[in-house]
Amino acid sequence: MTEPLRLGIAGLGTVGTGVVRIVQRHAQILERRAGRPVEITAVSARTRDKDRGIRIASYAWEDDPVALARRDDVDVLVELMGGSDGPAKAAVEAAIAAGKDVVTANKAMLAVHGQALAEAAEANGAVLRFEAAVAGGIPVVKALTEGLAGNEVMRVMGVMNGTCNYILTRMESAGLTYEEVFAEAKALGYLEADPTLDVGGIDAGHKLALLTAIAFGTRVDFDAVAIEGIERVSIDDIRQAADMGFRIKLLGVAQMTGRGLECRMSPCLVPAGSSLGQLEAATNMVVLEGDAAGQIVLQGAGAGEGPTASAVMSDVLDLARGTRLSTFGQPAASMEAAPAASASAPAPYYLRLALVDKPGALARIATALGDAGISIDRMRQYGHAEAVAPVLIVTHRTSRAALDQAVAGMDATGVVSGSPVALRIEEV
Ligand code: HSE
């Protein structure tokens, strides 16, 4: 086939600009690899007369992305506007209704509407792909959908929000509080317009919901992701976890156990020497575990113009080459609801508490743990000038229910000041 593949780009922000740059700069490489030219025929964005540092005058302009999606000279809608609903979803639906393929970077839209959109695409003979929606330039969707297609996936883990990893690692390296580094990240332009998407774990939760669907063949279900953000991680936790040989990460974990599908995005401790533990700054990392392949670790830039545009182009090239994969690696209509996990898999936990410094206090804490059937692995009490002593405990593997029982027991002793901090230690 030598007919050009004609793209309509909806959204000319950072990623859209990057896609235009790649199509223009690498026209020959793309044509050689696809066996046909890849061209942009039309674009759409909120503002037309803005200097983006790219040449778009030769492309047709549409104010309305839905009109762009319906154009006869557009084969593929490349949706780079963002937002779970509104114009992005309307344009994608219009393209699908017209039987056109869609490439999108829109994790929020897919996490919420991905199942319905994928089913609609299949019903209309269209392809809907989203490599750029998860972990920016890391080709993790392809790795799961194609590279590990012969495996039963055991577990998917990942640090998939660079802003949170920047905040956590910078707190540790500069000894700054969460509030101080949050302000710094904001000044650097790292945070989304709604910062809760980043620090509240929602952006990373969207990404995990998508990977979970591919890994386990289950219907996309963002509501099934148990999400906790990093807002309450203190510099004390970071320092003291480091002292015990751990680092704190906003970690996504999805695994199918005998109890059902567990899917959570939350601050966790990981061994400082592990690949995840060593991940610095705004970098992303995804760890995939297959029964045949074992553990695969992918690391790279999770955001930014080049990396995200690179991921968009990998989907575009698939379409140009005639590779037509289903959205989540199997027919969307055949995906089944995940069995909700009745409880999370047992794990060791890290506990930090401020203990009133009087005889018998530590014994009461140990009793609360013992009464809940929890065994202590390691414990440390720090020197202190105040009336309360900082105490750290690392437990052996236990259930979350037992841990909650122990924490309630500790609260009832009257020797704990404030509430204990409890963080899961992920065995990576
Ligand atoms: N805000 C995200 C991050 C990138 O910090 O990783 C877009 O998902």
Q: Are 359 and 426 contacting, i.e. CB atoms less than 8 angstroms apart? A: no
* Residue 198 alpha carbon, nearest atom of ligand 1: 1
* Residue 204 alpha carbon, nearest atom of ligand 1: 8
Q: Phi/psi class of residue 319: alpha, beta or left (left: φ > 0; alpha: ψ in -120 to 50)?
A: alpha
Which tokens hold the place of 34?
């696809």
Best residue among 130, 131, 203, 299 to mutate for probing ligand 1's pocket (most ligand atoms within 8 Å of CB) is: 203
Answer whether 0.85 is exceeded by the pTM.
yes
Smallest CA-to-CA distance from 10 within 99, 90, 84 is with: 90
CATH of 349-425, one of 3.40.228.10, 1.10.1040.10, 3.30.70.260, 3.10.110.10: 3.30.70.260
Ligand 1 within 6 A of 162 CB? yes
Which tokens hold the place of 233?
């991680």
Best residue among 198, 249, 285, 305 to mutate for probing ligand 1's pocket (most ligand atoms within 8 Å of CB) is: 198
Chain segment 287-346, per-residue pLDDT in tens: 999 999 999 999 999 999 999 999 999 999 999 999 999 999 999 999 999 988 888 899
Instruction: Give the three-class secondary structure for 50.
Output: coil
- Distance of alpha carbon 103 from alpha carbon 79, whole angstroms: 6
Beta bridge partners of 416: 355
Locate tokens 């235009």: which residue?
20
- Distance of alpha carbon 426 from alpha carbon 428, whole angstroms: 6
* Residue 161 alpha carbon, nearest atom of ligand 1: 6
Which tokens hold the place of 51?
């200097």
Domains in the chain: boundaries: 5-136+326-332, 140-301, 349-425
Residues in contact with 58: Cβ distance below 8 Å, sequence separation at least 6, in sequence order: none
Torsion sign, CA atoms 144, 145, 148, 154: positive
Cα(400) to ligand 1 centroid in Å equals 29
Cα(163) to ligand 1 centroid in Å equals 6
- 140-301: CATH class: alpha beta
Q: Supply the residue whose CA is at minimum distance from atom 7 of ligand 1.
A: 303
* Residue 206 alpha carbon, nearest atom of ligand 1: 8
Ligand 1 within 6 A of 13 CB? no
Q: Supply the residue whose CA is at minimum distance from atom 4 of ligand 1.
A: 303
Torsion sign, CA atoms 210, 349, 292, 218: negative
Q: Are 264 and 224 contacting, i.e. CB atoms less than 8 angstroms apart? A: no
Same fold across 5-136+326-332 and 140-301: no
Domain 5-136+326-332 has CATH 3.30.499.10: no
**Catalytic (active-site) positions:** 207
Each of the 428 residues of the chain gets a pLDDT tens digit; together they read 589 999 999 999 999 999 999 999 999 999 999 999 999 999 999 999 899 999 999 999 999 999 999 999 999 999 999 999 999 999 999 999 999 999 999 999 999 999 999 999 999 999 999 999 999 999 999 999 999 999 999 999 999 999 999 999 999 999 999 999 999 999 998 999 999 999 999 999 999 999 999 999 999 999 999 999 999 999 999 999 999 999 999 999 999 888 899 999 999 999 999 999 999 999 999 999 999 999 999 999 999 999 999 999 999 999 999 999 999 999 999 999 998 888 889 999 999 999 998 999 999 999 999 999 999 999 999 888 788 999 999 999 999 999 999 999 999 999 999 989 999 999 99
Cα(192) to ligand 1 centroid in Å equals 7
**DSSP H helical segments within 195-234, as ranges?**
196-199, 202-216
Smallest CA-to-CA distance from 407 within 398, 419, 424, 418 is with: 419
Q: How far is CA 319 from CA 70, 82, 155, 314, in A?
A: 18, 21, 29, 9
Ligand 1 within 6 A of 17 CB? no
